[in-house]
Amino acid sequence: MTEEPDRVAVHIKYKDVEKTLSGTPEQVWLLLDRFFAELLPSFDTAKKLNLNVDLQVLVKDSEKIIAFAEEGAYILVPRTKLTDNVTLALLLLGNYIGFRLGKTKSNGLSKEELQTKLGKDAKITSTRLGELVKNEIATKTTDEKYKITTFGLAQIQKDILPKIKSKIGT
């Protein structure tokens, strides 16, 4: 009569990947080692390609440019120093930050709300919003509102906010 070797089962969950390994302790150890050797480097590589924006850093970068009152987000920079596209992008940025901080109720703004805040007619507002959507800075939601994209957040943080700060001397 032969003795059955001890069997081990290990369940691994790493982000979206789950795997169960079973076998002898030696087999499972080798499979586990292979899992970490093969799978984790690809996760680390993919993670470097993920577009993420740190809200805390974004808020700090937006100081003296965007502020909040009971009515919502406001742009503190004189309009004469901003293009219509940048103004709209900042309004969407302010709404995004406000929503994430619980200061605004909706994650999007209607074309009418943006037109009022921009102070331009409907045709100009529509054209500028279309440009922002085409450039993937903004997106139109299913409820006909506009919100900033993750790509838009990254672009604003990297390119637009530093330019504005240099213009206003902060």
Contacts (Cβ under 8 Å, ≥6 apart) of 103 = 68, 72, 73, 97
Residue located via tokens 């506009």: 146
Residue 5 has a pLDDT of 65
Contact in structure between 116 and 91 (CB atoms under 8 Å): no
Residue 105 has a pLDDT of 87
Residue 15 has a pLDDT of 75
Handedness of CA 118, 123, 127, 133 (dihedral sign): positive
For residue 37, count CB atoms less than 10 angstroms from its CB and return exposed for 0-12, middle for 13-18, buried for 19 or more: exposed
Where do the domains of the chain lie?
A: 8-49, 55-168
Residue 44 has a pLDDT of 65
2-16, 17-31, 55-69, 102-116: least confidently modelled range: 2-16
Closest CA to 170 of 162, 90, 86: 162
Class of domain 55-168: mainly alpha
Closest CA to 87 of 134, 142, 132: 132
Mean pLDDT of 62-80: 92
Q: What residue ranges in 27-134 does DSSP mark as E strands?
A: 66-69, 72-75, 109-110
